[in-house]
């Protein structure tokens, strides 16, 4: 199966914020596209391409220009492969989410995502997928539908009204920290949520336990000899204040398996919401065209 990381969009909502494509923003010190390619390799996947004409992406693997870009659904490039798995270049995948996408089989077509976003599409029957992709694109170009993205292909495939929201068959629900980044506000919201802003804390285990969302923990120290997702007494780690509250029982979850040792100060000051909005307003302003005047003779 060929994996395709889709990075060839126009990025209108991102607006070249920070002077880079959104796939190059760093979360926990790693770019989005770099994280995705690393996780693919760690799961034994080396057969992948990145759809883009930007030479900077060569650092992460083979690139291939997208042949059409008439609308968003064109990101599903019809490459010469029978089996394809499309991944989104602007998505932060957790380790568990990408492992799930890779290891889950389908006899035909299977979408992966949350209730609001699509994170990947795994395809065995490419002809069927392209039939519905082209159908949706045609309706959009004719002005019969207002939107033309992965959700419309999903709804067309399942015989659902294209103007209504619904999830039925051919969908694997992923409920974790996996999410996409469309605009600067998404990015900073995600940074605050994932890295916790000033609310990162250091914890010590006081009762052996197994944590499903283990990949949310940072700088794990195996002082008690734990392994995998299993933590033993005296193991230490860093996590968000929200996760610490869950593990200490402060949010009525009745879990008292760790104690908080210290609050970790930020190494850099994160921008305020007002600063983010102001910066985005500046880059979103339409550029004024320079007027040219003819010299009178």
Domains of the chain: 2-180 (3.90.550.10), 198-264 (no CATH)
Residue 121 clears pLDDT 80, i.e. is over it: yes
pTM over the 0.75 mark: no
**Residue 171 and residue 113 in contact, taking contact as beta carbons nearer than 8 Å:** yes
Could you tell me which residues come within 8 angstroms of residue 222 by beta carbon, excluding any fewer than 6 positions away?
232, 235
Question: Residue 129, exposed/middle/buried by CB under 10 A (0-12, 13-18, 19+)?
Answer: buried
Q: Return the minimum-mean-pLDDT range out of 62-76, 92-106, 198-212.
A: 198-212
Tokens 């990101």: give the residue.
Answer: 75
Q: Which DSSP category does 227 fall into?
A: B
Cα(26)–Cα(81) distance, integer angstroms: 31
CA angle 4, 91, 267 (to 5 degrees): 135
Distance CA 2, CA 275 (A): 41
How does pLDDT run across 48-66, given as a tens digit for each residue? 999 999 999 999 999 999 9
Nearest to 176 by CA among 84, 99, 253: 99
Contacts of 251 (CB under 8 A, 6+ apart): 245
- 201: which strand partners? 239, 263
């Amino acid at each position: 199966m060929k994996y395709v990381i889709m990075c060839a969009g126009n990025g209108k909502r991102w607006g070249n914020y920070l002077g880079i494509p959104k796939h190059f923003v760093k979360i926990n010190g790693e770019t989005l596209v770099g994280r995705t390619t690393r996780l693919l390799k760690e799961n034994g996947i080396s057969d992948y391409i990145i759809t883009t004409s930007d030479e900077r992406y060569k650092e992460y693997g083979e690139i291939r220009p997208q042949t059409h870009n008439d609308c968003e659904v064109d990101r599903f490039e019809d490459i010469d492969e029978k089996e394809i798995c499309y991944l989104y270049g602007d998505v932060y995948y957790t380790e568990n989410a990408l492992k799930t996408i890779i290891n889950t089989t389908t006899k035909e077509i299977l979408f992966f995502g949350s209730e609001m976003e699509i994170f990947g599409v795994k395809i065995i029957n490419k002809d069927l997928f392209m039939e519905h992709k082209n159908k949706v694109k045609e309706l959009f170009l004719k002005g019969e539908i207002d939107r033309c993205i992965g959700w419309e292909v999903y709804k067309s495939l399942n015989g659902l009204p294209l103007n209504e929201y619904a999830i039925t068959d051919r969908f694997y629900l992923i409920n974790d920290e996996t999410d996409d980044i469309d605009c600067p506000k998404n990015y900073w919201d995600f940074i605050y949520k994932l890295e916790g802003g000033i609310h990162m804390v250091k914890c010590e285990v006081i009762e052996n336990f197994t944590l499903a969302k283990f990949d949310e923990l940072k700088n794990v120290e195996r002082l008690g000899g734990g392994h995998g997702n299993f933590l033993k007494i005296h193991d230490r780690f860093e996590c968000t204040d929200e996760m610490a509250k869950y593990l200490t029982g402060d949010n009525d979850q009745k879990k008292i398996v760790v104690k908080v040792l210290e609050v970790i100060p930020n190494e850099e000051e994160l921008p305020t919401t007002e600063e983010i909005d102001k910066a985005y307003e500046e880059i979103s302003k339409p550029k004024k065209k320079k007027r040219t005047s003819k010299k009178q003779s």
